[in-house]
Chain A
């Protein structure tokens, strides 16, 4: 199984079913040639906008690097993708590669979830295996963990992924709305449309672990 393997096939099938967005990236077939056109979902009407044109999958990595204010985006699923660009790609392979730069690993994680082979790791398990400077994170209280998750992971300003994990099995988080944990719900604004590829979080990321460390250190 190589470059043209099942992940791309599964993604192609999703496109064929009408998939047209992942996170803040809108996807459409080109009107005039065989290929794909990507824009920020708020700028799909390109005729009225002076968008800067790009043409390689690698451009996606640069477009995803900074927000509108030129600040670094360490979390690519933060709802702050820059505006003002249009990316034209010739093939499904290029499209797949570009989206993998916009939302690293999201396509593979989504495919694993669809195939029922995506493990979900509770936050306590993630924290318990940390070492070095992050070992201290296991000391966080349940209540404080709830607050940090609410502050870091909220779809409004935090992260557009749908959370699949709990604090520990049977202990869901209380601070975020139920739809944040529903894999059938897209986390972007309702007007963005619902033919979106799911952005899923099966395990707390290092940014959240770092935020928990900060919270623990603050109370020590």
Chain B
């Protein structure tokens, strides 16, 4: 910490016996900081946390931070305990979620013992004197568009995009979740680039629905990218079933070996359908996690 001017000084409510203060401090040296990536996790599906661990491993190998940790809502280490294992005085937290919503705005801050409002505006001082910077979720970053385009091009190599309907598949109508809004925003951006013949969104729980894909998409070649942070029941079974594909296993410890992702293109309803695994498994996600750290620094500079 340096003696930079305090741009804002806001008292927070007493929480867990301590008073929080938020103020702008100079940008710390990342090599002396910890990075904590927060995922949802699952008590039934080991694949749920796999991408978060993979991104943490990648960033750890790059050697940019003193420590890189992961924590989860439904797995261990829990959000309530992970901070005891972090030694750095400065901690960046990046939620590995597809959009802002219930988890990023309520559950994660509460479980980490943070104030519920104003978190993204500046660093927060923890009761033990450490500084925590709560970044926006990875899915909110503008580079998510690049990640989607990368995944779409990887799943259908050599296929001219000008002859393709690109379908971005989201959950829709999640409680307090903006995943559908995030998917729509990606559709708007990619559409504006004019790369694909058409770009569409479809959802599991609201219209336009995934099962109507053949009506929605006008091109013979269709690429479907699930806009989820990890593979699981939705990408293995629910979405393939709605597309009319043979669903994969309920869960797999080796998603890349799952036939539903491997047997592209699927020839169905007179179309060539290319089905990608969840966007969150894309290795580029790790870079976007770092971009969210940078975005926090720029926003609070």
Interface residues of chain A, those whose CB is within 8 Å of chain B, are: 1-3, 5-7, 58, 61, 65-66, 72, 74-76, 100, 104-105, 107-109, 111-112, 117-119, 121, 129, 131-132, 202-203, 205-207, 210
B67 cross-chain contacts in A, Cβ below 8 A: 2-3
Task: Decide if B78 touches A206 in the complex (CB within 8 Å).
Answer: yes
Pick 22 A–B contacts, CB within 8 A, sort by A.
Answer: A1-B89, A2-B31, A2-B67, A2-B88, A5-B87, A66-B253, A74-B43, A104-B78, A105-B78, A105-B84, A107-B85, A108-B84, A109-B81, A109-B84, A111-B84, A112-B84, A117-B128, A118-B84, A202-B81, A205-B76, A206-B74, A207-B43
| Cα(A37)–Cα(B176), bound, Å | 47
**CB <8 Å contact, A100 and B85:** yes
What 10 A-B pairs are tightest by C-beta distance, nearest first?
Answer: A108-B85, A108-B84, A104-B77, A105-B77, A2-B66, A5-B87, A105-B81, A74-B43, A104-B76, A112-B84
For residue B42, give the distance in angstroms from its CB to the closest CB of chain A: 7
Contacts of B145-201 to chain A: CB distance below 8 A: 175-176
- 9 further A-B pairs in the complex, CB-CB below 8 A; given A65-B46, A117-B128, A119-B16: A2-B32, A2-B67, A58-B57, A74-B43, A76-B76, A104-B82, A108-B84, A111-B84, A112-B84
Complex Cα distance, B88 from A118, in Å, reads 18
B81 touching A108, Cβ below 8 Å: yes
CA of A11 to CA of B74, assembled, Å = 27
On B, residues with C-beta under 8 Å from A are: 16-17, 31-32, 42-46, 53, 57, 66-67, 73-78, 80-89, 102, 106-107, 110, 128, 175-176, 251, 253
CA separation between A147 and B85, bound complex, in Å? 31
A132→B108 CA distance, assembly (Å): 13
Closest to B53 in A: A61
Cross-chain contact A108 with B42 (CB below 8 angstroms) = no
8 Å CB contact of B44 from A3, A6, A74, A76: A74
Complex Cα distance A191/B17, Å?
41
Chain A nearest CB from B67 CB (Å) reads: 6
Tell me the minimal C-beta distance from B128 to chain A in angstroms.
Answer: 7
Cβ–Cβ contact B87 & A6, under 8 A: yes
Chain B residues with Cβ below 8 Å from A74 are: 42-44, 74-75
Contact partners of A107 in chain B: CB under 8 A: 85
Contacts of A1 in B (CB 8 A): 87-89
**Using Cβ atoms and an 8 Å threshold, which residues of chain B touch A7?**
85, 87
Q: How far is the CA of A71 from the CA of B53 in the complex (A)?
A: 19
